[in-house]
């Protein structure tokens, strides 16, 4: 069941006779909230990427639906310096997800071949890979380590968090996308803000208690239509 949901959504727009399919790739500026009100630290911003295939169903010239599959990176980084900056501890946390968005797209034509668009809608995502890295230096001593990020084997159709542990992320994430961009005859330029609604650690079951420990990701992407 975990694997079939993205495949079903993906197949729906590919099978639509009116659909416009395009490949997308771009830059992610990822972060994780650190306060109960959902604030992030600018210094913790992590550079990652997104790539995938999306499609629009062709409902009308003004309003459409968009969905597909994206391989996208989230996470954050942190650094602490000592002795005037000569010594430090640096950490990078970069998990990757397969994301299925479902966006409502509102289009504003500018001329016959270009236009402005706005998109908004929910997304669900499945954690599939990632690395956490630590690097330190104290005087003449330096060290570095890297390990794969672990995800819980949770059943998304139950209320409890299965296989939860402090060193594991939740397998499933969900949230809201808000974006805008320009559409040309053979190119799309898009800026998107992904606001995660799930606390990412697998031991945290109450997502609504506050907005700490949730993904916040800004993406700047280019899309190339396939037809």
Judged against a pLDDT cut of 60, whether residue 16 lies above it is answered with no
Burial class (CB in 10 A: 0-12, 13-18, 19+), 97: buried
What is the band of 5 on the pLDDT scale with cuts at 50, 70, 90?
A: low
Pairing of strands 63-73, 76-82: unpaired
Report which of residues 18 and 80 the model is more confident about: 80
**Per-residue pLDDT reduced to its tens digit, 17-39:** 567 899 999 999 999 999 999 99
Judged against a pLDDT cut of 60, whether residue 100 lies above it is answered with yes
Q: What mean pLDDT do residues 98-120 have? A: 94
Judged against a pLDDT cut of 60, whether residue 15 lies above it is answered with no
Tell me the pTM: 0.89
3-state secondary structure 137-150: EECCEEEEEEEECE
Q: Provide CATH code, domain 4-75+95-130+150-225.
A: 2.40.160.20
Q: Which residue intervals of the chain are DSSP H helices?
A: 4-15
Every domain of the chain and the residues it spans: 4-75+95-130+150-225
């Amino acid at each position: 069941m975990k694997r079939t949901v993205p495949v079903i959504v993906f197949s729906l727009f590919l099978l639509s006779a009116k659909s416009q399919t395009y490949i997308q790739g771009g830059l992610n500026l990822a972060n994780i909230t650190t306060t109960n009100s959902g604030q992030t630290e600018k210094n913790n911003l992590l550079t990652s990427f997104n790539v995938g295939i999306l499609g629009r169903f062709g409902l009308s010239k003004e309003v459409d639906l968009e969905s597909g599959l994206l391989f996208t990176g989230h996470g954050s980084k942190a650094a602490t310096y000592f002795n005037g900056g000569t010594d430090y501890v640096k950490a990078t946390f970069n998990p990757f997800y397969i994301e299925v968005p479902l966006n409502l797209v509102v289009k504003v034509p500018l001329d016959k071949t270009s236009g402005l668009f706005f998109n908004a809608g929910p997304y669900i995502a499945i954690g599939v890979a990632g690395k956490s890295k630590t690097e330190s230096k104290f005087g003449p001593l330096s060290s570095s380590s890297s390990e794969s990020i672990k995800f819980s084997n949770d059943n998304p159709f139950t209320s409890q968090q299965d296989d939860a542990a402090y060193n594991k992320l939740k397998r499933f994430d969900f949230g809201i996308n808000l974006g805008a961009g320009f559409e040309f005859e053979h190119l799309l330029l898009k800026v998107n803000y992904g606001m995660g609604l799930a606390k990412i650690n697998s031991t945290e079951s109450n997502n609504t208690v506050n907005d700490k420990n949730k993904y916040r990701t800004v993406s700047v992407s280019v899309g190339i239509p396939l037809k």
